[in-house]
Amino acid sequence: MTAGGGHQVRLRVNGVTREAQVEPRATLAELLRTDLGLTGTHVGCEHGVCGVCTVVVDGRATRSCLMLAVQADGTEVTTVEGLTGVDGDLHPIQEAFAAEHGLQCGYCTPGILMALHALLAEDPGAGEDEIREVLGGQLCRCTGYQSILRSALCAAADVRAAAAEGER
């Protein structure tokens, strides 16, 4: 419990157990980016408003700038790097964003993908209302959101189709 002293944390990130020594004030975003080298998770406002740092923690979309690394000890985290398959195949959500031009500069994209991933994993039947609500918590400075919404609706349809395929 020493100031600035190292706390050992152990968590699963994208299916792999990772360990690190962190200061109490380090956020999960910092742990992911600096200690674990997973820079796909972006950081913008660092106070919860913009959403670019959103990752999935124990199945729920979470601001990684508003969670201390020590709080993440023992959790299961998925970042944008974990969306892509081992062979580099894009996830259906990523495919949809590419197909429907859901990004311009791409700075906001990792957070948006992860927020949608959490939504669609919990509720593959999520419709436009649910999608709009989630997107309401993610800022984009480029697209004007219409292409993001289109991409998200397309992603939802693909995820639903994949789920139906899996059930067969």
Partner 1 sequence: MKPASFDYAAPGSVAEAVALLDHPDRETTVLAGGQSLLPMMAMRLARPELVVDLGRIPDLAGISERDGALVFGAMTTKGAVERSELVRRRQPLLHAATRLIGHPQIRSRGTVGGSMAHADPAAEYPAVALVTDGWMRARGPRGERTIPAADFFVAALTTALAEDELLVEVGIPVLPVGTGWAFTELARRHGDFAMAGTALTVRLDPEGCFSDVRVVVFGVGSAPARVTAAEEVLRGERPGPALHRRAGDVVRDAIRNPLADIHASGDYRRHLAGVLTERGLADGVARATTRTDVS
Ligand X SMILES: Cc1cc2nc3c(=O)[nH]c(=O)nc-3n(C[C@H](O)[C@H](O)[C@H](O)COP(=O)(O)OP(=O)(O)OC[C@H]3O[C@@H](n4cnc5c(N)ncnc54)[C@H](O)[C@@H]3O)c2cc1C
Nearest one of 25, 21, 19, 18 to 3, comparing CA atoms: 25
DSSP 3-state assignment of 145? coil
CB atoms within 10 A of CB 168: 4
Rg (CA), the chain: 16
Q: Quick one: which of 48, 106, 125, 127 contacts ligand X (CB under 6 A)?
A: 48
Q: Does 3 bind partner 1 (CB under 8 A)?
A: yes
Report the alpha-carbon distance of residue 65 to residue 55 in Å, rounded.
10
Specify the amino acid at residue 80. Answer: V
Whole-number minimum distance, CB 1 to ligand FES, in Å? 27
Specify the amino acid at residue 20. Answer: A
Question: Which residue's CB is nearer to ligand FES, number 70 or number 162?
Answer: 70
Question: Which residue's CB is nearer to ligand FES, number 142 or number 162?
Answer: 142
Whole-number minimum distance, CB 96 to partner 1, in Å? 20
Burial of 56 (0-12, 13-18, 19+ CB in 10 A): buried
Q: Quick one: which of 103, 114, 116, 159 contacts ligand FES (CB under 6 A)?
A: 103
Q: Quick one: which of 49, 98, 99, 163 contacts ligand X (CB under 6 A)?
A: 49
* Residues near ligand FES, by CB under 6 A: 43-46, 48-53, 63, 65, 103-108, 140-143
The residues that touch partner 1, with contacts defined as CB under 8 A, are: 1-4, 7, 23-25, 27, 45-48, 51, 54, 57, 60-63, 65-68, 70-71, 115, 119, 133-134, 136-138
